[in-house]
């Protein structure tokens, strides 16, 4: 960011209350002109209506091609602000400043930005890489324990699909990881970012290999959508990973002992492994059919072939999906 460029800070009410003044003071001291746009917190803001509001405010405030959008918050803000940056004036610069563990290890890295559609999560979006991702573990201190735990679902995912040593470390050092001590959590965040960065570098546009990152997300996104986003992303992905690990077992790709280890680690981090009562099986299965990753009318899953290795593009028979899914 240079002097003379206009910055647009996009954040939510919770983050602005806790951290907004510090970021605004930093920009003021640097001589950067900025405008802060504060949105309601939560997934329900991630829609076309809110994106239109952002576009209107930025255009009316004089946005130019050298303007910078600063996404200051969790995954919702990163996706929404990032998608706005991707389309405003055919694309302006983006800086991600993730404030949740989930955003720090996953959603702020890789360039996928977007919004939800009534028929499904993240159905409208783009690839728009940030010019920088600025991660500070200090932001994690203001998260509630459940909020912090939401991010652990994505951390565990990286261990399951790419790094058995990371998975084993999460199992043996749960108390230290949950303590949020910088000495413990910083290398975990760095490892997750490195793993995702390597996958994205190999397949930027998700044409093949990058789809391994979707483990737990096909069912997880469907649970979010079917619940009206009352089930938060991390919890939904945890349930999705448990279900998709169950499918992996049913297809002979993992052992019963490995499934037990996976469920045990999810529970160790106080993450759910079964859907909440009352969630409609029909609504979830319908949402799966609208998954953005479907091809040729079929939804293909990323499944496990042992802990630390994932396989993308697996066809799952409908009968098996019904039997493993919601009870």
Q: Which of 29, 60, 90, 277 is catalytic?
A: 90
Residue 233 is among the residues annotated as catalytic for this protein: yes
Give the SS3 label for residue 195.
helix
Q: Which of 16, 196, 211, 300 is catalytic?
A: 196
Rounded to whole angstroms, how far apart are CA atoms 77 and 39?
9
Residue 221 is among the residues annotated as catalytic for this protein: yes
Quick one: which H or E segment has residue 169? helix 164-172
Residue 16 is among the residues annotated as catalytic for this protein: no
Q: Which of 233, 244, 258, 300 is catalytic?
A: 233
Q: Which of 122, 169, 206, 224 is catalytic?
A: 206
Residue 196 is among the residues annotated as catalytic for this protein: yes
Residue 164 is among the residues annotated as catalytic for this protein: no
Q: Which of 19, 128, 211, 221 is catalytic?
A: 221
Q: Which of 43, 51, 214, 300 is catalytic?
A: 214
Q: Which residue has the tokens 């949402």?
A: 287
Q: Which of 210, 211, 292, 300 is catalytic?
A: 210
Quick one: which H or E segment has residue 37? strand 33-39
Residue 154 is among the residues annotated as catalytic for this protein: yes
Residue 121 is among the residues annotated as catalytic for this protein: no
Q: Which of 43, 154, 224, 258 is catalytic?
A: 154
Residue 112 is among the residues annotated as catalytic for this protein: yes
Q: Which of 16, 51, 93, 112 is catalytic?
A: 112
Contact 64, 6 (CB under 8 A): yes
What is the distance of C-alpha 63 from the center of its chain?
A: 28
Sign of CA dihedral 151, 154, 159, 160: positive
Q: Which of 157, 217, 292, 300 is catalytic?
A: 217
Residues 6+ apart with CB under 8 A from 240: 216, 217, 218, 219, 220, 221, 222, 223
- Catalytic residues, by residue number, are 90, 112, 154, 196, 206, 210, 214, 217, 221, 233
């Amino acid at each position: 960011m240079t002097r003379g460029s206009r910055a647009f800070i996009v954040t939510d009410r919770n983050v602005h209350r806790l951290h907004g003044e510090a970021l605004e003071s930093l920009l003021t001291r640097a001589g950067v002109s900025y405008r802060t746009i504060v949105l309601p917190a939560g997934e329900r803001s991630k829609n076309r209506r809110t994106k239109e509001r952002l576009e209107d405010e930025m255009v009316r405030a004089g946005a130019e091609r050298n303007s910078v959008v600063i996404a200051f918050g969790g995954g919702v803000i990163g996706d929404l602000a990032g998608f706005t940056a991707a389309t405003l004036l055919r694309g302006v610069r983006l800086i991600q400043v993730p404030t949740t563990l989930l955003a720090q290890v996953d959603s702020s890295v890789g360039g996928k930005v977007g919004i939800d559609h009534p028929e499904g999560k993240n159905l409208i979006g783009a690839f728009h890489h940030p010019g920088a991702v600025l991660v500070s573990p200090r932001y994690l201190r203001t998260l509630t324990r459940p909020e912090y735990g939401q991010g652990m679902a994505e951390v565990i995912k990286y261990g399951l699909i790419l790094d058995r040593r990371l998975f084993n470390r999460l199992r043996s050092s749960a108390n230290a990881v949950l303590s949020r001590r910088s000495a413990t959590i910083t290398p975990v965040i760095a490892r997750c970012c490195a793993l995702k960065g390597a996958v994205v570098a190999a397949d930027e546009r998700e044409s093949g290999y990058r789809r391994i990152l979707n483990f737990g997300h096909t069912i997880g996104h469907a649970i979010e959508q079917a619940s009206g986003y009352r089930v938060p992303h991390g919890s939904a992905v945890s349930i999705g990973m448990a279900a998709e690990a169950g499918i992996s077992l049913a297809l002979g790709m993992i052992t019963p002992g490995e499934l037990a280890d996976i469920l045990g680690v999810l529970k160790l981090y106080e993450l759910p492994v079964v859907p909440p009562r009352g969630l409609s099986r029909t609504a979830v299965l319908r949402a799966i059919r609208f998954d953005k990753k479907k091809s040729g009318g079929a939804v293909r899953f990323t499944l496990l072939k042992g802990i630390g290795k994932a396989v993308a593009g697996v066809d799952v028979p409908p009968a098996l999906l019904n039997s493993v899914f919601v009870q």
